[in-house]
Chains A and B, each alone.
Chain A
Amino acid sequence: MAKTNGHNGHFGAQELTKLLGEMNTEADFPIAVVTNRDGLVIASSSPSGMDAQRQSAVAAKVGETAALASSQLQMGRTDEISISAEEGQHLICRPIPVNGKDLFLAVMLKDRGQPYRRATNKVIAHIRQHWAF
């Protein structure tokens, strides 16, 4: 599932997949994906077996549209998009600025009250630290 994406250093897609797996275990997320702006899955982990390709496409589309809206409204960079649907699905999408481009980290929550900021911050910091050049 994991694919490389032109990053440098020793922190590759395999390590990122492992990191997402650890985050899912720690924070109890059913799925986490890191995607680029085109919706290409860079890494994913889904203990529940959810479709990472679809999740990735959704995250990229939502993230791009939100970034456009934030920029046009002159409200700075998008930090997070939270979407709740009636069927009880809660999707969090967080842009990760790396080398002037946005990647997106998307996680699904089991319920709205589930903490996610600390866990996702950790992964974002890791990616930025190892993938920036």
Chain B
Amino acid sequence: MQGRLEDMAVADLIQHNCQDRKVAKFELKSGARKAELFFKNGNVVHAVLDDREGEEAVYDLLTWEEGSFDSKGEIESPQVSITREWSSLLLEGMRRLDEAQQKAASGKSLEQELFSAVLAPTEVKQAPAIPVSVTVNAEISRSWAAGGGYAAAVKAGDACQSRMQEIADEVGGFIGAAVANENGDVLVHTEFAQSAPAVFVAHVSQFIKTVGNVVSKLGAGLLEDNLLTTETAFLLIRFLDSSSKYLLVVVDNSLANLGSLRHVSRVAADHFAAMDLEIPEKRS
């Protein structure tokens, strides 16, 4: 596998290879700079860029917008310098990139800002955590408990909570999020700042049905995502493994970073897709 970073961003390259879960070594070049990335067991385990290695090398690498990458095959890493899960690694990288871009407007170059973020982490201002309250559809909770016991249901609920919390923490301007199905049933939701989750989901489901119909008439396959931009908000709708369920994230468009929104929702959608979120009566 080889290609240009103009066609496949470093973040996408990492996500693709981690989801493939293969052992792999990649060499990346941008101008005179060279980097190496090693993958194993669905994570980045080692990265080298100039004289840096580990997470900091990945964060720097995420700023590359041009260059090339080349797979060197199934080569084991000589060491493990990264233990953080790949999605968390990318989210931290995106957060730093976002902050650096905002600060760059103050006159320093993006690279200067990134270096200062790397060298002086105490100066990096973390976005304040917004505690979100997550509710799982009662039928689904009961189904989890019936299938694997109370502890399993709590664990699954906690997984939903942490995934929604991650969205709220990462995107900025968080208003609310929900996982729903094509019938408009709310499966998992946070509180919404402006309205009841069911109201959001009802209107969005109707919108999706219409869009789905027209996309189908275009012969363009299944919908991947929709972004509805209004005067005040971004409503990102990302489909899970099929078009029967979707993740809706609503954010204040004056505060949110669209790149982070797209990335974090993609990661969250993958997690929700792997969960059992079927309402029992609707199982086939």
Contacts and interface: CB of A to CB of B under 8 A. Distances in A.
Interface of A: 54, 57-58, 61-62, 65-66, 68-70, 72-87, 89
Nearest to A73: B203
Given A58-B214, A69-B204, A72-B203, A87 B230 contact: no
Nearest 4 CB-CB pairs, A to B? A76-B231, A85-B220, A86-B221, A87-B221
Nearest to A70: B230
B216 to A, nearest CB: 9
Contacts of A74: 194-195
Contact of B231 (A57, A61, A77): A77
Majority secondary structure, A binding face: mixed
B133 interface: no
Interface stretch (B72-80, B113-121, B147-155, B205-213): B205-213
Nearest to B200: A73
16 contacts: A54-B218, A62-B210, A65-B211, A73-B195, A74-B195, A79-B230, A80-B227, A81-B228, A81-B229, A84-B226, A85-B218, A85-B221, A86-B223, A86-B224, A89-B215, A89-B220
Given A58-B218, A75-B232, A65 B223 contact: no
B99 interface: no
A77 B227 contact: no
Contacts of A86: 220-224
Majority secondary structure, B binding face: mixed
B226 A83 contact: yes
A87 B220 CA distance: 5
A76 B252 CA distance: 12
Contacts of B223: 83-86
B217 interface: yes
B228 A66 contact: yes
Chain A CB within 10 Å, residue with most, of B218, B219, B225: B218
A4 to B, nearest CB: 26
Given A81-B228, A84-B223, A86-B222, 11 more contacts: A69-B204, A73-B194, A73-B230, A74-B194, A75-B230, A75-B231, A75-B235, A79-B230, A81-B229, A82-B228, A85-B222
A58 B224 contact: no
B215 A61 contact: no
